[in-house]
Chain A
Amino acid sequence: NAGVTQTPKFRVLKTGQSMTLLCAQDMNHEYMYWYRQDPGMGLRLIHYSVGEGTTAKGEVPDGYNVSRLKKQNFLLGLESAAPSQTSVYFCASSYWGQGKYFGPGTRLTVT
């Protein structure tokens, strides 16, 4: 099992550009999440999904969109990147009420 994988590992964007981050899990988990991690802020939930075709807002959803067309994939989109979105993005998945398994992260810089 690969667990949770994320693509790409690194990305540099100019302000106003768009991009999509891909998360894939092979554990048949129902729940998937996108977090961002900033220095001194810990991990903050952006959006999450409780099953294929569902999405919900987390703590810091503004400026991001998500889609869960297939159970194993959860996409995070930035339509118009801003410098405030420079961060490390982590995807996670789990069964309900169980510990979450995290991917290796995507380091995004917006200039």
Chain B
Amino acid sequence: GQQLNQSPQSMFIQEGEDVSMNCTSSSIFNTWLWYKQDPGEGPVLLIALYKAGELTSNGRLTAQFGITRKDSFLNISASIPSDVGIYFCAGQGGSEKLVFGKGTKLTVNP
């Protein structure tokens, strides 16, 4: 079946640094979604991308839908301690099924 490769698996950064993570797939997707999950909570939708080439921001977060429709990246600028958590990418093709990456665990040192 479809698979997403999300990298890096984990990141340890200092407060104030910028962060970048990405997802790649062998399949084309029509939608890319980025979620954040805090411990003990459900994933929360951060950004949704619906068009190839689309660049969307949500505060300090910026995500892009790759032009080939097979990849997406998420950037976090000027990280703060509350950015810690696990970030998931998800892709959606022609059906209602989402394919999730395995997550990037972010740790921010004050």
Enumerate chain A interface residues (CB-CB to B < 8 A).
Answer: 4, 31, 40-45, 48, 50, 58-59, 90, 92, 96-105
Main secondary structure of the interface of A (DSSP, over half): loop
In the docked arrangement, what's the CA distance between A50 and B97, Å? 11
Q: Which residues of A contact B45 (CB under 8 A)?
A: 99-102
State whether A99 touches B1 (Cβ < 8 A). Answer: no
Residues of A within 8 Å of B102, CB to CB, are 40-42
Nearest A-chain residue to B92, judged by Cβ:
A97
- A57 → B minimal CB distance (Å): 10
Q: How far is the CA of A89 from the CA of B61 in the complex (A)?
A: 28
> What is the bound-complex CA distance between A84 and B90, given in angstroms?
25
A10 nearest CB across to chain B (Å)? 11
Q: Residues on B close to A: CB < 8 A? A: 1, 30-31, 33, 35, 40-45, 48, 50, 88, 90, 92, 96-98, 100-103
A-B contact pairs, 28 of them (CB 8 A): A42-B88, A42-B100, A42-B101, A42-B102, A43-B43, A43-B88, A44-B100, A45-B98, A48-B96, A48-B97, A50-B96, A58-B97, A59-B97, A90-B43, A96-B96, A97-B30, A97-B31, A97-B92, A98-B48, A99-B33, A99-B48, A100-B33, A100-B98, A102-B43, A102-B45, A104-B41, A105-B40, A105-B42
